[in-house]
């Protein structure tokens, strides 16, 4: 159901339907996985080693981090930055899935390749994600700033954050970390669609398994994709909080990076190879839930739209 299928008995998904299903899937998924995202970002921004055996920084492991954030900042802290995060998810889901449906249809009509193949899904999935990333990068930067700040808060609300960042750091600050994001998002999203396609074919015909099949395939695709591309996500987060060092001081050491290469070299020098994978464990949990739920809810809403259209067609009076 994901992507253009010329052999489908149902009508092709329209752009409006893809926008609705993609944005709705993003909204529901974001609300469910926000706590894991906050913990992941805290891990990524910590300079000190994240280790339960030899704790050096504020956060030493997943369960300790959850307890620490809850005791110091309350339950609402796990949804810090939820408004920009929801706007990000709704916008990203709408642009990504709409672009993917359009691109797979173009592959079918303009090239000799099979639009249903895993290779075509990798290519189209990567391009669709890049389109969504460029459109939504300012919201991603705002989400990261909100999730990274502790107490007392630097930004009171979304409007205050936008005006403060614009006046003190300039408009380009909303696109901090865009280069490592694009470098990571193409293979990450491409691999998500690739493995989702592969796993669904492995698990049997399209009509078997229902929603559980989509959830399992999406979760597996998310874990594999995230593991392969994770360091670029960490680079992006470190760059996005540049100029935000004062608010990060209470969490431990802070660093300034002049760009992507400087960020990579400093992390390698000070934190070693393991530094590139800080926050991987909560990130994998988040990736499994996020990707699984995204594909699950997208197909759920597409099926819902098709069922509504079918009932409307069946109940419509026959013409003479």
pLDDT band at 220 (very low <50, low <70, confident <90, very high): very high
Which residue intervals of the chain are DSSP H helices? 15-45, 62-73, 82-110, 118-148, 158-169, 178-202, 210-240, 245-248, 260-271, 280-315
Is pLDDT of 144 > 90?
no
Classify residue 48 as exposed, middle or buried by CB count within 10 Å of its CB (0-12, 13-18, 19+). middle
Residue 63 CA to residue 76 CA, distance in Å, equals 17
Q: Which among 30-39, 93-102, 255-264 has the top mean pLDDT?
A: 93-102
Is this prediction's pTM over 0.85?
A: no
How do residues 181-207 score in pLDDT, each as one tens digit?
788 789 999 999 999 999 988 886 655
């Amino acid at each position: 159901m994901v992507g253009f299928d010329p052999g489908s008995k149902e009508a092709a998904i329209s752009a409006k339907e893809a926008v609705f299903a993609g944005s709705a899937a993003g909204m529901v998924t974001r609300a469910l996985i926000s706590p894991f995202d906050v913990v992941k970002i805290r891990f990524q921004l910590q300079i000190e080693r994240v280790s339960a055996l030899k704790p050096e920084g504020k956060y030493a492991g997943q369960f300790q981090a959850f307890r620490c954030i809850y005791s110091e900042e309350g339950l609402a802290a796990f949804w810090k930055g939820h408004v920009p995060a929801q706007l990000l998810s709704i916008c990203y889901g709408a642009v990504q899935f709409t672009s993917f449906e359009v691109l797979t249809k173009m592959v079918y009509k303009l090239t000799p390749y099979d639009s249903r193949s895993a290779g075509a899904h990798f290519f189209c999935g990567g391009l669709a994600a890049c389109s969504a990333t460029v459109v939504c990068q300012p919201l991603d930067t705002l989400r990261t700033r909100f999730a990274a700040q502790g107490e007392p808060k630097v930004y009171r609300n979304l409007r205050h954050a936008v005006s403060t960042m614009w006046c003190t750091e300039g408009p380009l600050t909303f696109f901090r970390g865009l280069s490592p994001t694009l470098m990571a998002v193409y293979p990450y999203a491409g691999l998500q669609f690739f493995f989702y396609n592969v796993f669904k074919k492995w698990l049997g015909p399209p009509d078997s398994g229902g929603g559980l099949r989509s959830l399992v395939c999406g979760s597996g695709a998310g874990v594999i994709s995230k593991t392969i591309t994770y360091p670029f996500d960490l680079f992006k987060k470190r760059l996005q909080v540049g100029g935000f060092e004062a608010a990060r001081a209470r969490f431990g050491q802070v660093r300034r990076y002049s760009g992507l290469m400087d960020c990579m070299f400093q992390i390698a020098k000070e934190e070693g190879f393991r530094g590139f994978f800080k926050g991987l464990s909560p990130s994998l949990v988040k990736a499994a839930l996020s990707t699984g739920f995204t594909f699950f809810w997208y197909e759920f809403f597409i099926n819902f739209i098709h069922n509504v259209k079918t009932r409307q067609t069946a109940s419509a009076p026959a013409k003479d």
